[in-house]
């Protein structure tokens, strides 16, 4: 993993987030959530900083980041695609959907496309089992997706939409 140097601004943002949760170790998940929301992803250096701020071991922080598939350690694409792999979605063909997305974008799970437009992740159950199989692009939910629809969904975003607001590290 190449080391990145955090800007002073980024450091301040993270410190502020930690402070807003009273630097309480028990709030780690909320701190991570908020930080990812503001910064887009959670690289090693950010995790180290959070560990210091919350006075806990960086191994524990990393343990939590890798436990929840929601957290990302690499920059997300402009349009993060998530495929639900919960039981309901899985039995209704989520694996084929995932395969089709990988094929179309030519990336693996956890990667982004070279142009930075899309990234791909798997999610545990998102709680929309009635709509299985479910795919999310950003915050938008697509239900009962069939492999043939994948191309169309991706195309919606390829035309270009508004860039989501995000702080650069």
Partner 1 sequence: MDMINLTIDKKPVTVKRGTSLLAAAAQVGIKIPSLCYMKLEDLNIENKPGGCRVCVVEVEGRRNLTPACCTDVAEGMVVSTHSIRAIHARRTVVELILSDHPTDCLKCAKAGNCDLQSMAQHLGIREIHFEGEKSTFREDTSPAIIRELDKCIRCRRCEMMCNEVQSVGALSAINRGFNAVVAPAFEMNLDHSVCTYCGQCVAVCPTGALTEKDNTGAVIRALSDSTKTVIVQTAPAVRAALGEEFGDEPGTLVTGKLAAALRRLGFDYVFDTDFAADLTIMEEGTELLSRLTAFLGGDKDVKLPMLTSCCPAWVKFFEHQFPDLIDIPSTARSPQQMFGAIAKSFFAEKIGVNRKDLVVVSIMPCVAKKYECSREEFSENGNPDVDFALTTRELAQLINLANIDFKSLPDEDFDNPLGESTGASVIFGTTGGVIEAAVRTAYEVFTGKKLQRLDFNELRGMEGIRHATIDFDGLPINIGIAHGLGNARKLLEDIQQGKSHFHAIEIMSCPGGCIGGGGQPYHHGDAEILKKRQMALYREDAGKPIRKSHENPFITKLYEEFLGAPMSDKAHHLLHTEYFDRSKNGN
Instruction: Choose, by CB under 8 A, the member of 1, 115, 139, 159 that binds partner 1.
Output: 1
Q: How far is the CB of 70 from partner 1 (least distance, A)?
A: 12
Q: Binding of partner 1 at residue 70 (CB under 8 A)?
A: no
Nearer to partner 1, 61 or 132 (CB): 61
Looking up tokens 């930690």 gives: 18
Q: Binding of partner 1 at residue 87 (CB under 8 A)?
A: no
Q: How far is the CB of 80 from partner 1 (least distance, A)?
A: 20
Q: Binding of partner 1 at residue 63 (CB under 8 A)?
A: yes
Tell me, letter by letter, the H, E, C secondary structure of 80-144.
EEEEECCHHHHHCCHHHHHHHHHHHHCCCCCCECCCCCEEEEEECCCCCHHHCCCEEECCEEECC
For residues 56 and 25, the answer to whether their CB atoms sit within 8 Å is: yes
Q: Which residues bind partner 1 (CB under 8 A)?
A: 1, 44, 47-48, 56-63, 66-67, 69
């Amino acid at each position: 993993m190449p080391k990145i140097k955090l800007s002073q601004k980024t450091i301040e943002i993270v410190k502020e987030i930690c402070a807003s949760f009273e630097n309480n170790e028990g709030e780690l998940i909320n701190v991570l959530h908020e930080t990812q929301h503001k910064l887009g992803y959670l690289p090693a250096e950010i995790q180290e900083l959070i560990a210091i701020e919350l006075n806990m071991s960086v191994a524990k922080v990393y343990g939590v980041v890798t436990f929840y598939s929601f957290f990302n350690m690499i920059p997300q694409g402009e349009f993060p695609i998530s495929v639900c792999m919960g039981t309901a979605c899985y039995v209704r063909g989520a694996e084929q959907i995932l395969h089709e997305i990988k094929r179309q974008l030519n990336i693996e799970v956890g990667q982004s496309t070279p142009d930075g437009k899309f990234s791909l992740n798997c999610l545990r159950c998102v709680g929309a089992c009635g709509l299985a199989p479910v795919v999310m692009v950003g915050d938008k939910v697509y239900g009962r997706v069939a492999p043939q629809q994948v191309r169309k969904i991706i195309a919606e975003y390829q035309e270009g939409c508004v860039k989501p607001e995000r702080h650069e590290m």
